[in-house]
Amino acid sequence: MNIVLMGPPGAGKGTQAEVMARKLFVPHISTGDIFRANIKAGTELGQLANQYISKGDLVPDEVTMGMIKDRLAEEDCANGFILDGLPRTIVQADALAAVLEEQGKKLDKVVNIDVPIEKLIERLSGRRVCRNCSQTYHLQNNPPTEAGRCDECGGELYQRADDSEETIKNRLDVYLAQSSPLIEYYEAKGLLLSIDGDQSINNVLADVGRGLGQNW
């Protein structure tokens, strides 16, 4: 199944995508994770992307699309993928459709996780991420067993620089201006599955499963 996961920053895309990927046996492709891995490794792409990410702005479309085109061409995407964090603009959505067509693929569903904007600040400011494996936690909503340590790999948990209150505000503005129109875009294409993200992680997962016709 070829799936796009959408929703505002902090909606729970990464959290859901991790589990969905395991259940569907397809890779979880997070544009944010790929950028952060490049930033950590000090690549040219990482240095360029960081100029935008640190401010909460979008990385330019041509950079992002080049990166995702290569990723989707990899062999592990042959039987499906969960794309988390792209498209974020209508231009990217059109470009994605063209990339997929070139590769003989098409989207099966676009899952939109809907969370009221005022809840997102709390989710983002409490988010903690594993430096080693990118597993995501929340100080209150989804804490690790041992404070500051990843349950999966024992790695150190850190707070993303762009999860500071200043940058969060800009990211939410960018979402409303540039990304939220994608909801209507995919609705018009008959691909949209809208999920109430303002419930527990497990209930969101159950709704996604039902919507995708999966029995999980």
Tally Cβ neighbours within 10 Å of residue 44: 8
Tally Cβ neighbours within 10 Å of residue 211: 13
Q: Which is nearer to Zn ion, 60 or 154 (CB)?
A: 154
Q: Which is nearer to Zn ion, 102 or 152 (CB)?
A: 152
Q: At 104, list the tokens.
A: 């003989």
Q: Which is nearer to ligand ADP, 2 or 15 (CB)?
A: 15
Tally Cβ neighbours within 10 Å of residue 3: 24
CA trace torsion 51, 54, 59, 63 (10° rounding): 50
Q: Which does 138 bind (CB under 5 to 8 A by kind): Zn ion, ligand ADP, none?
A: ligand ADP
Is residue 140 within 8 Å of 125, Cβ to Cβ? no
In the bound complex, what is the minimum distance in angstroms from residue 47's beta carbon to ligand ADP? 14
Q: Which residue has the tokens 């240095």?
A: 47
Binding site for ligand ADP (CB under 6 A): 7, 9-15, 31-32, 35, 52-53, 56-59, 64, 85-86, 88, 92, 123, 126-127, 136-138, 141-142, 162, 171, 200-201, 204
Give the dihedral sign, CA 65/69/70/72.
Answer: positive
Is residue 22 annotated as part of the catalytic site, yes or no?
no
Q: Which is nearer to Zn ion, 133 or 147 (CB)?
A: 133
Q: Which does 12 bind (CB under 5 to 8 A by kind): Zn ion, ligand ADP, none?
A: ligand ADP
In the bound complex, what is the minimum distance in angstroms from residue 33's beta carbon to Zn ion? 12
Asked whether position 92 contacts Zn ion by CB under 5 A, the answer is no
Asked whether position 150 contacts Zn ion by CB under 5 A, the answer is yes
Closest residue by Cα to residue 80 from 109, 57, 53, 58: 109
Is residue 88 annotated as part of the catalytic site, yes or no?
yes
Tally Cβ neighbours within 10 Å of residue 57: 16
Q: State the residues that interact with Zn ion by CB under 5 A.
A: 130, 132-133, 135, 150, 152-153, 155
